[in-house]
Chain A
């Protein structure tokens, strides 16, 4: 299992579109993804879960990847968040 801490950097935060992109990216891998924000912990492959996080700009998330391809899953998801979901 790998754990990564990321900060949401796009202006609008994790609204519907970024949430959908994140779920789609995570779903490409076998590894399970758990996202923790404050006291909440949700499944990173579930759109309703990711929407519920209400992660605004500047909020910090702990991502846990667990599975055979956890390395590449972590690389892809972390990069996506750090790119700000390709939004301005």
Chain B
């Protein structure tokens, strides 16, 4: 992949669709500018002017940072904004700046070198630390130094960005959000994606098409290259030819027409033609996303990923801090329910005190971590309970593989309730408790697990990965990651039937819930709830409203009788084309 030679030929990089829409335009490669700084001697009578340049640059840097801070607070919440406060503190550190000025005068050196060299001492120590958060901090320090130097040189940020562009970058740090506030951005493409979902969140809330997880896009693209970005299919096309552009244009028009058709659907229930109601809710990671989810017609939150608060943090948030966040989300969603999944750390997910493991996906993650770290788990359970006073809060345990784990987690939940009772704090004594089914052992034991709880929610991404023994991040075996493999569809049916035998509802919160190809099948096997990313919600609702439960059941029976993924996909695709012909479906 990295060695792909490309001239003027068109080629496609597949990524993950992060925000819907299609955009075409010139690329702007946004890389962290690392200025080259050299030591230059100055004359004694230049010292004063040199210090003056530094003072002016610091003042401008502080002004910029305060603007970024305000923007980040407004768009990303005060937590993400905290790093800018730390950057401002470094910038206004009187001792640090005093030392730098003394060095300019004593050593007769240029301000740029003095800043870089002095700060570098601290940077080296930070990088030498075994703590991951210290490395993050070293990057913050880099940001501050680069900002000062750019301002000493009197350079404007993004002088090169003229006119509308598609931004291509490695990742989008909160610090980069300022580019969105200042420039006309047509689309957004990043190498990384998944863990750092700031890119996805921002582009969705600003309605900019985005594709993330493109691996090496920044290495293959130069500023000025002509690009097309397909935020529906999750593809980036470099040097698209006339034919491709025509196809994309037509696709964009079909999607727009379909979107207009869907405009009124937000207010309508997700009922099949024969009146079976499906609870259609959304997966969100940040409290700010709930407004967009509601606009899309979401019935509450079917998966709130609480571990997203941990990104970039050195420690777990306190009970009070979490309680404030959860209560805000529960209040915003009321009267609809919110499902809080307890910290799912480990695997590819950040933990403040995470440790290196040979095989993290088969390692210490999800409930396994929380049952070992009961102090952290109890903080979180109490915080979730405190948000439950209006009876619309659900709690779910991830990565469960045994009945005993569920019993232990429930015992801790009970302990958390008793703590609150002692403190005289109110909570919902009948809070709904559920298990996420993503480990094959849990899928097999779904009925026994269901006997312990009020609901099951299927996490299809991990379930497929574990069932197929395929690392979804490994390109070499990507074709084996088959959400429609016969083993997967049969397992899904088994879980739903097992749950229903114990009279608990069964939902799906993985990517499959938001895949239009899967909807008829999932309704057919009797799924009660689908939790999807907000952008695809109207489309999924449209499909539900276009089918009858009894037909969907027949489709599900047929699917479970087929032998290969290819056959299942072809069959489901023909069903969609027949039942919902207006859907722009050619994925």
CB distance from A52 to the nearest CB of B (A): 5
Binds A, one of B125-133, B234-242, B251-259: B125-133
CB distance from B98 to the nearest CB of A (A): 9
Which of A12, A40, A48 touches B90 (beta carbons < 8 Å)? A48
Kindly state whether residue B43 has any CB partner on chain A within 8 Å: no
Q: Is the interface of B mostly helix, strand, loop or mixed?
A: helix
Q: Report B132 CB to chain A, min CB distance, Å.
A: 11
B577 at the interface (CB under 8 A from A): no
Count contacts between A and B, CB distance < 8 Å.
49
Are the C-beta atoms of B122 and A45 separated by less than 8 Å? no
Partner of A47, one of B82, B93, B134: B93
The answer to whether B318 and A88 touch across the interface, beta carbons within 8 angstroms, is yes
Interface positions, chain B 99-133, Cβ under 8 Å from A, are: 119, 122, 125-126, 129, 131, 133
Say yes or no: is A56 at the interface (Cβ < 8 Å to chain B). yes
B82 contacts A52, C-beta separation under 8 Å:
no
- Expressed in whole angstroms, the minimum distance between the Cβ of B103 and any Cβ of chain A is 14
Give CA–CA (A2, B119) in the complex, Å.
Answer: 29
Minimum CB distance partner of A46 in chain B: B95
Quick check: A52 and B122 within 8 Å, CB to CB? yes
Partner of A11, one of B85, B89, B122, B315: B315
Query: Does A54 lie at the interface of the complex (its beta carbon under 8 Å from any beta carbon of B)?
Result: yes
Binary contact readout B61-84 vs A (1 if CB under 8 angstroms, 0 otherwise)? 000000000000000000000100
A46 near B89 with CB under 8 A, answer no
- Does B137 make an interface contact (CB < 8 A)? yes
**Given A40-B125, A51-B122, 18 additional A-B pairs, CB 8 A:** A12-B314, A15-B133, A16-B85, A16-B89, A20-B89, A46-B93, A46-B94, A46-B96, A47-B90, A48-B93, A48-B122, A48-B141, A51-B86, A51-B90, A51-B126, A52-B122, A54-B134, A88-B318
- The contact sample of 30 A-B pairs, CB cut-off 8 A, is A11-B315, A12-B314, A13-B315, A16-B82, A16-B85, A16-B89, A20-B89, A40-B125, A45-B95, A46-B93, A46-B94, A46-B95, A46-B96, A47-B89, A47-B90, A47-B93, A47-B96, A48-B93, A48-B96, A48-B119, A48-B122, A48-B141, A49-B96, A51-B90, A51-B122, A51-B137, A52-B125, A54-B134, A56-B131, A88-B318
